[in-house]
Chains A and B, each alone.
Chain A
Amino acid sequence: MPRKILTGNHTVAEAVKLARVQVIAAYPITPQTTIVEKLAEMVEHGEIEAKMIRVESEHSALAAVYGAAAGGARAFTATSSHGLLYMHEVVWWAAASRLPLVMAVVTRAIGPPWNIHVSHEDIMDQRDTGWIISMAEDNQEVLDLVLQAFRISEDERVYLPAMVGLDGFLLSHTAMPVDVPEQEVVDSWLPPRLPRPYVIEPGSGVIMGNIPPDEAFYRMRHSMQRAMYNAKRVIEEVDEEYYKMTGRRYGGLVEFYRCDDAKYVVVLMGTWAGNAKEAADRLRERGIPVGVARIRYVRPFPRERLREKLLGMKGVMVFDRSVSMGRGGPLHAEVVEALEAKPSIMGVVAGVGGVDVGVRDFEKLVEDFVKKVEEEGRVYVNDYWYGV
């Protein structure tokens, strides 16, 4: 397996090539642009046999790959921030049409004021749409998640589109080593897409987007929810299969790092999990038993897995890189619900708009939290804004 030094965005392009995607449409937006640039170059050089559709907006980009997916093609798009918001209507449309396709979301703040840096508001804004939503920690996982996303999205128990989130600049523009599997290995595991769940083609009739009875609409939404629950199992299975193929596995919906003997756990998602793990190691050297639960899939949400592991913890700290105005960090809210607020729980809103949150920041925040829990016995903080 050749190891290359790749930015996160070029890693996405490599994965799309390995997945033998047939139709690509995307509109440039920082920090996503170099994904579509690289793919355009690959198409131009004949390295990938895909049709590149040039479009005038993100709304059209997703509409184009949606059409391609409805026609039976394996399709891909990518965007960020305002681009993702602009395509939001089609995001819903694609999921409720039960079409398999994959979109890379390079996470970035939403203006105003203008900001091109990492923040999770854009991807967290998609939670209710019916897409599978994953988040990577490093570029290796970006490659692995993109390949797995096609497998999961095209699984007959799922048939929902999938987003792969990677942090703007922290991954998208950071070059690091990535093991790129051989094409034959990927081919044997990810065969061409089957003409399922349905294919719109001349000569055969499929009715799409008609006005059904309200009860039918309601039942269709229920079947999406069931598919999401199925996806939990499919994601764990795919993680195992992928391990057999590449020797890499991440734990499925959530990665637990040093949680087995921990009393305190940090919950978060994305690149800064690496900083949290480093901080956990340093705190353990000082006798504070800390672990990290890294959310890999926001949807479907790993509620049961979190309960199994974290219900008995003394304290849980949830770091959100976005905020639901008027409530707090969205991950925090979901963790509080999953754990019935049994452990001490502190929500931290940090890193929003690209603010750098490093190892020492995690060390300090976790240490302060542990002290507070040890002193007061029971702590509940809804949304602490670090450094404000």
Chain B
Amino acid sequence: MIEEYRFHGRGGQGAVTAARLLVGAAHREGRYGQAFPHFGAERRGAPVVAFARISDRPIRVHEQVREPDVVVVLDPTLFKLVNVLEGLREGGVLVVNSKEDPGIQGPYKVFIVDATGIALSLGLRVAGWPVVNTSILGAVVKATGSVSLDSVVDEIKSNWPGRMGEANAQAAKLAYEKAVRVR
């Protein structure tokens, strides 16, 4: 059984890194995974998509995720531009960076967290932009339980040693605490 994830973000928000960190966390638990971006001609600010797969067995499939189990939205303004629900399986999980209930209809579990607020409170910015990938991962852990928060924190700290890692790990922990299910 392969769990499939799709991340929607804007260039610079860290969707690709979020997918990679998630797979790294699964790897720490002895599982297999793959994380990959879909690149068009995107630049900073443009909508981007990244994918992840996690499995107990080695993964040999290499294609875009068409029917994700989990969709993660790093920027709620994308709802107007992209059909983020496309292909999401019945009973699938939607995790949104938002202060408010996005009012999604359909057979999904919906979680929200103010990842932008958390990132800004910890000074996580690149070129002035809040980087919300590590916060949103804390919410993904809460919503799916697929990997443990400890594994995500360890993966974040090994990715950015020192203060950067501490701040990003803190972001994941805070988001884990604050994420709530709205549907």
| Chain A interface residues (CB < 8 Å from chain B) | 3, 5, 114, 116-117, 137-138, 169-171, 173-177, 271-272, 274-275, 277-278, 356-359
Q: Judging by beta carbons under 8 Å apart, are B39 and A116 in contact?
A: yes
What residues on B are CB-neighbors of A175 within 8 Å? 19-20, 23-24, 34-36
* A356 vs B66: C-alpha distance when bound (angstroms): 11
* B: interface residue count bin: 20 to 34
Contact A5 B66 (CB under 8 A): no
Q: Which of A3, A117, A170 contacts B62 (CB 8 A)?
A: A170
Question: Which chain A residues border B27 with CB–CB below 8 Å?
Answer: 3, 5, 177
Most buried by B among A5, A169, A278, A357: A5
CA distance A137 to B60 in the complex (A): 9
* A271 with B33: CB separation less than 8 A: no
Beyond A5-B20, A5-B24, A169-B39, is A272–B62 a contact (Cβ under 8 Å)?
Answer: yes
**How far does the Cβ of B36 sit from chain A's closest Cβ, in whole Å?**
4
One of A117, A173, A274, A275 near B36 (C-beta < 8 A)? A173
Given contacts A170-B36, A174-B62, 13 further A-B contacts (CB under 8 A): A5-B35, A116-B39, A138-B60, A138-B62, A169-B37, A173-B39, A175-B23, A176-B33, A177-B33, A177-B58, A272-B62, A275-B61, A358-B64
Q: Jot down 15 A-B pairs with beta carbons below 8 A, ordered by A.
A: A5-B20, A5-B23, A5-B27, A116-B39, A117-B39, A175-B24, A175-B34, A176-B34, A272-B63, A274-B61, A275-B60, A278-B60, A278-B61, A357-B63, A359-B63
Q: Mark B56-99, 1 if CB is under 8 A from A, else 0.
A: 00111111101000000000000000000000000000000000
Once bound together, how far apart are the Cα atoms of A346 and B38, in whole Å? Answer: 30
CB closest residue in chain B, given A139: B34
Across chains A and B, the number of contacting residue pairs, with CB separation under 8 Å, is 66
Q: Is the CB of B23 within 8 A of A275?
A: no
Chain B contacts for A271, CB-based, 8 A: 62
> A3, A174, A275: which contacts B34 (Cβ < 8 A)?
A174
* Chain B interface (Cβ < 8 Å from any Cβ of A): 19-20, 23-24, 27, 32-39, 41, 58-64, 66
The closest CB in chain B to the CB of A271 belongs to B62
- Give the interface SS of chain B, mostly helix, strand, loop or mixed: mixed
Report the minimum CB–CB distance from A277 to chain B (whole Å). 6
Please give, as numbers and ranges, the residues of chain B lying within 8 Å of A5 by CB-CB distance.
20, 23-24, 27, 33, 35
- Interface of A, helix, strand, loop or mixed by DSSP: loop
Sorted nearest first, the 4 A-B pairs with minimum C-beta distance are A358-B63, A274-B60, A174-B36, A176-B34
A356 and B64 in contact (CB under 8 A), knowing A176-B34, A177-B33?
yes
- Taking a contact as CB atoms under 8 Å apart, the answer to whether B32 and A177 are in contact is yes
Q: Which residue of chain B lies nearest to A357 when distances are taken between CB atoms in the complex?
A: B63
A10 to chain B, nearest CB (A): 11
* Cα separation A115 to B32 with both chains bound (whole Å): 31
A169 and B36 contact, CB distance less than 8 A: yes
Q: In the complex, A174 Cα to B62 Cα: how many Å?
A: 9
> What separation, in Å, do the CA atoms of A35 and B5 have in the docked complex?
27
Determine the chain B residues whose CB is within 8 A of the CB of A356 once the complex forms.
Answer: 63-64
Q: Which residue of A lies closest to B20 (CB)?
A: A175
Closest to B50 in A: A173
Which residues of chain B are within 8 angstroms of A169 by Cβ–Cβ distance? 36-39
Q: Which residue of A lies closest to B66 (CB)?
A: A358
Look across to chain B and name the residue whose beta carbon is closest to the beta carbon of A358: B63
For A176, what are the chain B residues with a Cβ–Cβ distance below 8 Å?
23, 32-35, 59
Chain B residues, Cβ within 8 Å of A3: 27
Q: A173-B36, A174-B35, A175-B34 are in contact. Are A275 and B62 (CB under 8 A)?
A: yes
Contacts of B33 in A (CB 8 A): 5, 176-177
Taking the closest CB of chain A, its distance from the CB of B159, in whole angstroms, is 10
Residues of B within 8 A of A174 (CB): 34-36, 62
